Chain A
């Protein structure tokens, strides 16, 4: 953070070490861009809310589009009577469990299947066919199998996550540089060494991509499950509110869902940053 490194290159003199210079940057250089971006984000949000609030009533019917004030009031009520926490907790549990089940099984199976090319080639069309099934279409089946409890939602979330993680990880495994594997073979590396010291780290990018793109789908799976059949959770809140023609309630729930999605995304970004330290130096100042 405090120093930039400039590796010395290709001179006749042998470099004794990297040439390092402390970089003196002003507060503006250090944080200027970040402040700018966040400033605009917040400004944009405020403008949007103000316009929404101003239009709701005189121009638009609050019955249909609600209003920021209405949403805030509703959220306040729900926090007060505990509705928000109990239902959010249910949905979060379903998302997290579904994500974990799907991600672990997807990654594990990807390493098993994709590592053996023949097996992959045989199974590929079947997997693609299963992947193409809209996961919502599985909801009725899952209800028959697992009832309308949380299991059904967890599995609905897990199925979507599974395929995304599975396919991305498999792609990562297939893209491993053959030359790196050969290098380890010449070092007398065992199959185990190749699996853990080459294939696993090399495919990490694929796995992380899978994890990242599948997060919103875990949420989608869980909420769809709740919409189809449930008496608890945020999906239930939406269907219940809309049945009562309570748009404030629907919008309030949507706000909660987006906040959950944003938090989940931030978590995965953190994980990705740690695992990808070997990627090119961050050029962002």
Chain B
């Protein structure tokens, strides 16, 4: 925890207005994310995790408080981040290649430059042979991978992932988790990963932040399990079990 902070969140609140009521999604959240770290935000559904990520991405302005990115207050969408949302945001009218290359296309890269990078990324996520398929012709898991490839195409320095593997089957999930760790380790990238799955949190994270209702931080737990973590072996590791218990207890605490 010696690295410089990438993102600092101070006194962050977000309200949504509905008729004459204010729906409070987040209240007074403080959070610091260090450069190069893998932070998992763990919380039950409806605790404002997704709202927090939307704010970190700069897609919606906070009601109060502020977010700084590399020390500078954020205004508008943060184009340094790659954001993988819960639901697919692939353009249905573009095939896999055209979707994956989109960030570079908008950046103005030439067709040739794009083609090489795109082909490599598609191979990386295991979608070779599906370059000309449209999102609707792909399975859910394949669409996820295409989204992942598109995100990586922009070469973002920070990744925001909102329950990215939630809807996948267990094997594919493990596989993509491994893929993500491979992409992250040694790259210097920062990852903020949202999930409600304790096990997933422990397999991936350097640090797990347990969120309660309205974004209250219930527990900020460093995870010092040695890497690489084999998902099958680590489940029986006593330290893993201990951490699992602690996180689980914190989640329960928040529910009360």
Q: Contact residues of A with B, CB < 8 Å?
A: 5, 7, 9-12, 14-18, 177, 179-180, 182-190, 193, 197-198, 201-202, 204, 277-281
Report the Cα distance A236→B154, complex, angstroms.
63
A201 touching B77 in the complex, CB below 8 Å, given contacts A10-B169, A186-B59 = no
Q: How far is the CB of B92 from chain A (nearest CB, A)?
A: 5
Stretch in B35-43, B101-109, B206-214 touching the partner? B101-109
Please determine whether A7 and B142 come into contact, CB atoms closer than 8 angstroms. Answer: yes
Please determine whether A278 and B136 come into contact, CB atoms closer than 8 angstroms. Answer: yes
Report the Cα distance A184→B255, complex, angstroms.
36
A280 touching B136 in the complex, CB below 8 Å, given contacts A186-B79, A187-B106 = yes
Nearest-neighbor residue (CB-CB) of A11 within chain B: B171
A10 touching B141 in the complex, CB below 8 Å, given contacts A186-B59, A186-B81, A187-B79 = yes
Taking A9-B142, A202-B93 as known contacts, 19 extra A-B pairs with beta carbons closer than 8 A to each other, sorted by chain A number, are A7-B142, A9-B141, A12-B175, A16-B129, A179-B85, A180-B89, A183-B89, A185-B59, A186-B79, A187-B79, A187-B102, A189-B106, A190-B106, A197-B102, A204-B93, A277-B134, A278-B135, A278-B136, A279-B136
Of the candidates B59, B93, B102, B130, the one having the most CB atoms from chain A within 10 angstroms of its own CB is B93
Q: How far is the CB of A277 from chain B (nearest CB, A)?
A: 8
Q: How far is the CB of B177 from chain A (nearest CB, A)?
A: 13
Please determine whether B81 and A7 come into contact, CB atoms closer than 8 angstroms. Answer: no
Of the candidates B91, B102, B175, the one having the most CB atoms from chain A within 10 angstroms of its own CB is B91
A7 touching B133 in the complex, CB below 8 Å, given contacts A188-B79, A188-B107 = yes
Please determine whether B79 and A201 come into contact, CB atoms closer than 8 angstroms. Answer: no
Please determine whether B137 and A179 come into contact, CB atoms closer than 8 angstroms. Answer: no
Nearest-neighbor residue (CB-CB) of A193 within chain B: B106
Please determine whether B171 and A12 come into contact, CB atoms closer than 8 angstroms. Answer: yes
Interfacial chain B residues near A280, Cβ < 8 Å: 136-137
Please determine whether A7 and B91 come into contact, CB atoms closer than 8 angstroms. Answer: no
A184 touching B106 in the complex, CB below 8 Å, given contacts A7-B133, A278-B136 = yes
Report the Cα distance A187→B150, complex, angstroms.
10
Report the Cα distance A126→B180, complex, angstroms.
53
Q: Contact residues of B with A, CB < 8 Å?
A: 57, 59, 76-79, 81-83, 85, 87, 89, 91-95, 102-103, 106-107, 126, 128-130, 133-139, 141-142, 154, 168-169, 171-172, 175
Q: How far is the CB of A97 from chain B (nearest CB, A)?
A: 30
Interfacial chain A residues near B128, Cβ < 8 Å: 16-17
Interfacial chain B residues near A197, Cβ < 8 Å: 91, 102, 106
Report the Cα distance A201→B168, complex, angstroms.
29
CB < 8 Å neighbour of B91 from A16, A190, A201, A277: A201
Q: Which 6 residue pairs across A and B have the least CB separation, nearest first?
A: A17-B129, A188-B79, A183-B89, A14-B126, A9-B139, A278-B93
CB < 8 Å neighbour of A182 from B89, B126, B175: B89
Interfacial chain A residues near B83, Cβ < 8 Å: 183, 186
Q: How far is the CB of B96 from chain A (nearest CB, A)?
A: 11
A7 touching B79 in the complex, CB below 8 Å, given contacts A180-B89, A184-B106, A186-B59 = no
A7 touching B137 in the complex, CB below 8 Å, given contacts A14-B126, A182-B59 = yes
Nearest-neighbor residue (CB-CB) of A204 within chain B: B93
Please determine whether A18 and B126 come into contact, CB atoms closer than 8 angstroms. Answer: no
Q: How far is the CB of A281 from chain B (nearest CB, A)?
A: 6
Q: How far is the CB of B124 from chain A (nearest CB, A)?
A: 11
Report the Cα distance A186→B154, complex, angstroms.
10
A17 touching B107 in the complex, CB below 8 Å, given contacts A7-B139, A180-B89, A186-B83 = no
Interfacial chain B residues near A190, Cβ < 8 Å: 106
CB < 8 Å neighbour of B78 from A15, A17, A183, A186: A186
CB < 8 Å neighbour of B89 from A11, A179, A193, A278: A179
Q: How far is the CB of B109 from chain A (nearest CB, A)?
A: 12
Report the Cα distance A14→B135, complex, angstroms.
18
Report the Cα distance A197→B98, complex, angstroms.
11
* 12 pairs from A and B in contact (CB 8 Å cutoff): A7-B139, A7-B142, A9-B139, A12-B171, A180-B91, A186-B82, A187-B107, A190-B106, A201-B91, A204-B93, A277-B134, A278-B94
Please determine whether A278 and B134 come into contact, CB atoms closer than 8 angstroms. Answer: yes
Q: How far is the CB of B79 from chain A (nearest CB, A)?
A: 4
